[in-house]
């Protein structure tokens, strides 16, 4: 089976991990700040806090922005559940903004009308989480103007998008947001096994992120409420968690980061090959935002019509021919947990239409042209029924 995504591990990655295993620190050592500095340099961010997952990064990010009970977070339904769950961890409420049908990202027009209505009824969100679906930036220019107008903070969920560009800047430079979050899960662009990071240009937010990553504990006397008792002393000044990444993971992530441009170039080239192979197929190819260079975490094709039965048949036929397709994502508001909170079918029609049509086909740096041809032929065969 050709998987939909897969990591690329070379000898340098293995050597980097072995070096940490033979060193004094498996965690809380020097590989972590080195990794953070390397990520910051790649994405042109002032501060990067590496953690054990993007889920943790989202949680500490919205906490650092003050999200809590009584507050509301908005994201789009076509994302992994973590983009919404981070609000629930803080006791905040979640609502959704429907997607743009071509890019699958948060639709700025839908955001604008929803903000207008929310202001009228006094229910503006505190934080919005635009998702870089498939590795392509949302329309951050418009989203950030709207956020500023309504006094809303922005956390970009760029879990798919390290190495991507938007409007001439690396995704993560947070030109249009307060914080940008990345994932280093093995199916993503670069991996640390499990891992994530939160990037910001605000020194106060950065300080809170690093506190919250490790129990809310500080050893910095400037942050303490009073004088230190001695060299052993630390203070817990907030409630945080243990979301630390290990040096083993950080070393792997750092080594992978050296191939970031290569991975993104390979993914873009593979996407162009799919564009050509599927040009005449009875599917809708992924839409491109001219302001963005996608990192192409995913290549999502859509069936011409929303037809749940046909969708399933095409998907099963692909799997039967050894093509490990996937669907990204089941609309979050249709998950039983979110339906119990009051959401239901019909709430976000563009997302629901997308879900009945979308199939992610395999895309990862080591995918060969023959495999791509097999995927394209299998898709055409599956569509012929």
Ligand X SMILES: *Cc1c(COP(=O)(O)O)cnc(C)c1O
Residues in touch with ligand X (CB under 6 A): 53-55, 79-80, 82-83, 131, 157, 159-160, 183, 185, 196
Which residue, 129 or 314, is less far from ligand X as judged by CB?
129
State the CB neighbour count (10 A cutoff) for residue 340: 8
- Shortest approach of ligand X to residue 64 CB, angstroms? 17
- Shortest approach of ligand X to residue 298 CB, angstroms? 9
CA 349/CA 344 separation, integer angstroms: 11
- Shortest approach of ligand X to residue 135 CB, angstroms? 10
- Shortest approach of ligand X to residue 52 CB, angstroms? 8
Nearest to residue 74, comparing CAs of 89, 57, 64, 86?
A: 86
- Shortest approach of ligand X to residue 76 CB, angstroms? 10
Residue with tokens 């009073």: 226
Which residue, 131 or 206, is less far from ligand X as judged by CB?
131
Which residue, 153 or 160, is less far from ligand X as judged by CB?
160
- Shortest approach of ligand X to residue 9 CB, angstroms? 18
Residue with tokens 């709207």: 146
Half-sphere exposure for 209 (CA within 13 Å, toward CB):
31
The answer to whether the Cα torsion of 50, 51, 55, 59 is positive or negative is negative
Contacts for 3 with CB less than 8 Å, ≥ 6 apart: 324, 362, 364
Let me know: does 150 contact 113? Beta carbons within 8 Å: no
Which residue, 196 or 286, is less far from ligand X as judged by CB?
196
DSSP helix/strand/coil, 370: helix
Let me know: does 213 contact 195? Beta carbons within 8 Å: no
State the CB neighbour count (10 A cutoff) for residue 24: 8
Which residue, 160 or 208, is less far from ligand X as judged by CB?
160
Question: Would you state the torsion angle of the CA atoms of residues 114, 119, 125, 130, taken in this order, to the nearest 10 degrees?
Answer: 30
The partner residues of 235 in beta bridges, in order of sequence, read 218
Which residue, 80 or 176, is less far from ligand X as judged by CB?
80
- Shortest approach of ligand X to residue 323 CB, angstroms? 21
Which residue, 5 or 365, is less far from ligand X as judged by CB?
5
């Amino acid at each position: 089976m050709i998987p939909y995504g897969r990591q690329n591990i070379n000898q340098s990655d293995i050597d980097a991990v072995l070096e940490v295993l033979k060193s004094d620190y498996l965690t809380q050592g020097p590989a972590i700040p080195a990794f953070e500095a390397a990520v910051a340099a790649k994405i042109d961010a002032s501060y990067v806090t590496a953690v054990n997952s993007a889920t943790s990064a989202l949680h500490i990010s919205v906490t650092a922005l003050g999200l809590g009970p009584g507050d509301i977070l908005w994201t789009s339904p076509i994302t992994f559940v973590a983009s919404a769950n981070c609000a629930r961890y803080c006791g905040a409420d979640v609502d959704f903004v429907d997607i743009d049908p071509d890019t699958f990202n948060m639709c700025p027009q839908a955001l604008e009308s929803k903000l207008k209505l929310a202001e009228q009824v006094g229910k503006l969100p505190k934080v919005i989480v635009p998702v870089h679906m498939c590795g392509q930036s949302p329309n951050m220019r418009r989203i950030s103007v709207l956020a500023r107008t309504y006094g809303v903070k922005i956390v970009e969920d760029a879990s798919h998008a390290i190495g991507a560009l938007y409007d001439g800047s690396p995704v993560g430079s947070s030109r249009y947001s307060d914080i940008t979050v990345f994932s280093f899960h093995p199916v993503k662009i670069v991996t640390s096994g499990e891992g994530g990071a939160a990037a910001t240009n605000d020194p106060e937010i950065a300080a809170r992120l690093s506190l919250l990553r490790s129990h809310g504990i500080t050893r910095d006397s400037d942050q303490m409420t009073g004088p230190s008792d001695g060299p052993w002393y630390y203070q817990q000044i907030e409630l945080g968690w243990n979301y630390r990444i290990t040096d083993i993971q950080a070393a792997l992530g750092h080594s992978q980061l050296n191939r970031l441009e290569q991975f993104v170039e390979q993914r873009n080239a593979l996407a162009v090959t799919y564009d050509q192979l599927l040009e005449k197929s009875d599917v809708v190819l992924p839409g491109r935002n001219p302001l963005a260079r996608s990192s192409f975490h995913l290549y999502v094709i859509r069936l011409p019509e929303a037809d749940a039965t046909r969708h399933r048949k095409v998907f099963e036929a692909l799997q039967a021919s050894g093509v490990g397709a996937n669907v990204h994502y089941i609309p979050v508001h249709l998950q039983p947990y979110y339906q119990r909170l009051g959401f239901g079918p019909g709430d976000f029609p563009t997302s629901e239409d997308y879900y009945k049509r979308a199939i992610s086909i395999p895309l990862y740096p080591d995918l060969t042209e023959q495999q791509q041809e097999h995927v394209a032929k299998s898709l055409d065969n599956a569509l012929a029924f």
